């Protein structure tokens, strides 16, 4: 296909949608496309600017009349400016609110000037499963989905949720999240491993944004049961509203000295490479990119049977799934893996193999096919 000039809009933070958008953008640059990130700060995983990779900051100024600054409108204006200055072929926006609705405004403004700029919207999860249920957002999300020129969702489960929640007249294409397994081919940082588990304890890891939907308290309760049976440490990575509550709970249930909480980091590869097991007991999870990254690092995953997680984790081979909140079952499965070196070896091998099913090279052409469809019209 011909090389395109694409505007990418995402949250520049550590959240899954921003990570997927950034990695996708970088992979498209590798394939020869020209990528323009349009965000309020440089995406966390973007790295340095290079040929064909641009970043345009959406700069908010304080206007005293506004109690709330209208980010969506400033973003839409920036999209118009970048589209004209760099002759973009299309916009690909990640996360419906407010990116998709802002993109529709931008597209309509450009249409008035005779410029055609198709909009691809990728739905990531909480934009549908949490915000989509909120009447404060629902009509706008539905409108933005239906007005987009193409819509993708990161799992079959998210596609079903979207169709169940909204009156959608758009075809929703499922394009699963992806990883580049070779990013994980690097030596384990033995110093880091020793710092977390000085006496050779098993390392059980959880990475998230510590929101209630992640059920991080379940992580502690599962770990407490594991720790009763085998020497283990719990490595918590990330930050968010539940972090201090979770650290207090660790104190309360007597496992604080076994918990290492390192907060936000740029890239989870280092902690994953030293891990023996990954826990993701979320209430809901449209895909579970963190679980896929764990598999790529050869770390088996225990997760809840919710949302898109069963599309990623094969129960009984690269990990286990249990009903949401069933900490007993999750602890039982964790011990089944950690307590037997042979089982652990087999699960690790299966984890890596499963991760290859989500290889970036299989996913990029799916997005490119969508782009081609819209730009060859
Ligand atoms: O997990 C989060 O709360 C962050 C959120 C986001 O929008 O950044 O993640 C969602 O998108 C990820 C990337 O597509 C998915 O892997 C996550 O499963 C999804 N989170 C939820 O559905 C809770």
Rounded Cα distance, 355 and 227, in Å: 28
Same domain, 350 and 365: no
Q: What is the pLDDT of residues 17-40, one digit of tens each?
A: 999 999 999 999 999 999 999 999
The response to whether residue 17 sits with its C-beta less than 6 Å from ligand 1 reads yes
CA atoms within 13 A on the CB side of 180: 14
Same domain, 201 and 74: no
Residue 64 pLDDT class (50, 70, 90 cuts) = confident
Q: Which helix (H) or strand (E) holds 163?
A: helix 156-165
pLDDT above 80 for 366: yes
Q: Is residue 285 within 8 Å of residue 309, measured between CB atoms?
A: yes
Same domain, 137 and 272: no
Could you please report the per-residue DSSP string of 28-41? HHHTT-EEEEEESS
Residue 16 Cα to ligand 1 middle (Å): 5
pLDDT above 70 for 143: yes
Rounded Cα distance, 373 and 377, in Å: 7
Same domain, 331 and 305: yes
Rounded Cα distance, 157 and 163, in Å: 10
Nearest to 247 by CA among 234, 235, 256: 256
Average predicted confidence (pLDDT) for the chain: 95
Token representation of residue 162: 């979207």
pTM: 0.94
Identify which has the larger pLDDT, 158 or 182.
158
Per-residue pLDDT, 346: 98
Q: What is the pLDDT of residues 334-362, one digit of tens each?
A: 999 999 999 999 999 999 999 999 999 99
The CATH number of residue 201's host domain is 3.40.50.2000
Residue 11 Cα to ligand 1 middle (Å): 11
The response to whether residue 147 sits with its C-beta less than 6 Å from ligand 1 reads no
Residue 286 Cα to ligand 1 middle (Å): 6
- Residues sharing a CB contact under 8 Å with residue 358, sequence separation 6 or more, in sequence order: 176, 177, 178, 179, 292, 312
To the nearest 10°, report the CA torsion of 223, 345, 178, 35: 100
Token representation of residue 243: 């972090």
Residue 311 Cα to ligand 1 middle (Å): 14
The total domain count for the chain is: 2
Same domain, 113 and 191: no
Residue located nearest, by CA, to atom 23 of ligand 1: 285
What is the mean predicted confidence (pLDDT) over 229-236?
97
Judged by average pLDDT, the poorest of 63-67, 241-245, 369-373 is 63-67
Rounded Cα distance, 263 and 250, in Å: 15
Per-residue pLDDT, 230: 97
CB atoms within 10 A of CB 48: 6
Same domain, 217 and 320: yes
Instruction: Using a pLDDT cut of 70, give the percent of the chain over it.
Output: 100
Same domain, 165 and 275: no
Same domain, 21 and 138: yes
The response to whether residue 126 sits with its C-beta less than 6 Å from ligand 1 reads yes
Same domain, 160 and 70: yes
CA atoms within 13 A on the CB side of 86: 26
Strands 90-94 and 119-123: parallel
Per-residue pLDDT, 7: 98
CB atoms within 10 A of CB 192: 16
Where in the sequence is the domain holding 222, given as residue range(s)? 181-357
Rounded Cα distance, 102 and 316, in Å: 43
Residue 290 Cα to ligand 1 middle (Å): 9
What is the mean predicted confidence (pLDDT) over 111-136?
92
What is the mean predicted confidence (pLDDT) over 159-177?
95
Residue 3 Cα to ligand 1 middle (Å): 29
Residue 17 Cα to ligand 1 middle (Å): 6
The response to whether residue 95 sits with its C-beta less than 6 Å from ligand 1 reads yes
What is the mean predicted confidence (pLDDT) over 119-143?
90
The response to whether residue 285 sits with its C-beta less than 6 Å from ligand 1 reads yes
What is the mean predicted confidence (pLDDT) over 163-182?
94
Per-residue pLDDT, 138: 92
The response to whether residue 162 sits with its C-beta less than 6 Å from ligand 1 reads no
Specify the DSSP class assigned to residue 114.
Answer: T
The response to whether residue 23 sits with its C-beta less than 6 Å from ligand 1 reads no
What is the mean predicted confidence (pLDDT) over 326-331?
98
Q: Is residue 54 within 8 Å of residue 37, measured between CB atoms?
A: yes
- How many Å from the N-terminal Cα to the C-terminal Cα in the chain? 14
Residue 96 Cα to ligand 1 middle (Å): 12
What is the mean predicted confidence (pLDDT) over 238-257?
95
Q: Please give the number of the atom of ligand 1 that sits closest to the Cα of 283.
A: 23
What Å distances lie between residue 66 and 63, 69, 71, 102, 142, CA to CA? Answer: 6, 6, 11, 19, 27
Q: Please give the number of the atom of ligand 1 that sits closest to the Cα of 127.
A: 7
Q: Please give the number of the atom of ligand 1 that sits closest to the Cα of 129.
A: 22
Q: What is the pLDDT of residues 293-323, one digit of tens each?
A: 999 999 999 999 999 999 999 999 999 999 9
Same domain, 113 and 199: no
Token representation of residue 223: 């770990």
123, 156, 287, 301: residue to mutate for ligand 1 pocket, most atoms within 8 A of CB: 287
The response to whether residue 289 sits with its C-beta less than 6 Å from ligand 1 reads yes
Sheet holding 301-304, edge to edge: 259-263, 232-237, 202-207, 277-280, 301-304, 319-322
Same domain, 149 and 205: no
pLDDT above 90 for 127: no
Judged by average pLDDT, the poorest of 235-244, 262-271, 304-313 is 262-271
What is the mean predicted confidence (pLDDT) over 96-122?
96
The response to whether residue 118 sits with its C-beta less than 6 Å from ligand 1 reads no
Q: Please give the number of the atom of ligand 1 that sits closest to the Cα of 177.
A: 14
What is the mean predicted confidence (pLDDT) over 141-161?
96
Q: Is residue 37 within 8 Å of residue 373, measured between CB atoms?
A: no
Same domain, 205 and 139: no
């Amino acid at each position: 296909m011909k090389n395109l000039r694409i505007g990418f809009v995402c949250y520049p933070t550590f959240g899954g949608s921003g990570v997927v958008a950034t990695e996708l953008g970088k992979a498209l640059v590798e394939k020869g496309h020209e990528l323009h990130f349009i965000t309020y700060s440089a995406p966390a995983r973007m790295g340095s600017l290079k040929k064909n990779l641009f970043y345009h900051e959406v700069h908010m100024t304080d206007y005293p009349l506004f109690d709330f600054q209208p980010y969506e409108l400033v973003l839409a204006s920036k999209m118009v400016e970048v589209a004209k200055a760099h002759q973009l072929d299309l916009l690909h926006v990640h996360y419906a609110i407010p990116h998709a609705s802002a993109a529709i405004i931008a597209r309509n403004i450009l249409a008035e000037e005779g410029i055609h700029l198709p909009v691809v919207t990728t739905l990531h999860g909480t934009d549908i499963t949490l915000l989509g249920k909120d009447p404060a957002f629902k009509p706008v999300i539905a409108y933005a989905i239906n007005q987009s020129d193409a819509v993708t969702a990161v799992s079959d489960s998210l596609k079903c949720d979207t169709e169940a929640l909204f009156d959608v007249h758009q075809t929703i294409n499922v394009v699963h999240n992806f990883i580049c397994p070779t990013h994980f081919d690097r030596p384990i940082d033995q110093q880091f491993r020793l710092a977390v588990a000085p006496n050779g304890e098993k390392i059980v890891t959880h990475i998230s944004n510590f929101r209630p939907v992640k059920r991080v308290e379940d992580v502690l309760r599962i770990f407490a049961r594991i720790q009763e049976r085998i020497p283990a440490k719990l490595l918590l990575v990330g930050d968010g509203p539940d972090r201090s509550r979770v650290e207090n709970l660790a104190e309360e249930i007597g496992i604080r000295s076994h918990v290492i909480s390192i907060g936000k980091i740029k890239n989870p590869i280092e902690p994953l490479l030293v891990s023996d097991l990954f826990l993701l007991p979320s209430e809901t999870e449209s895909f579970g990119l963190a679980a896929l990254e764990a598999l790529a690092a050869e770390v088996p995953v225990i997760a809840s049977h919710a949302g898109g997680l069963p599309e990623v984790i094969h129960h009984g081979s690269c990990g286990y799934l249990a009903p949401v909140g069933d900490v007993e079952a999750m602890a039982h499965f964790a011990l089944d893996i950690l307590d037997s070196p042979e089982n652990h070896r087999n699960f690790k091998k299966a984890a890596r193999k499963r991760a290859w099913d989500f290889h970036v090279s299989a996913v990029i052409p799916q997005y490119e096919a969508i782009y081609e469809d819209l730009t060859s019209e």
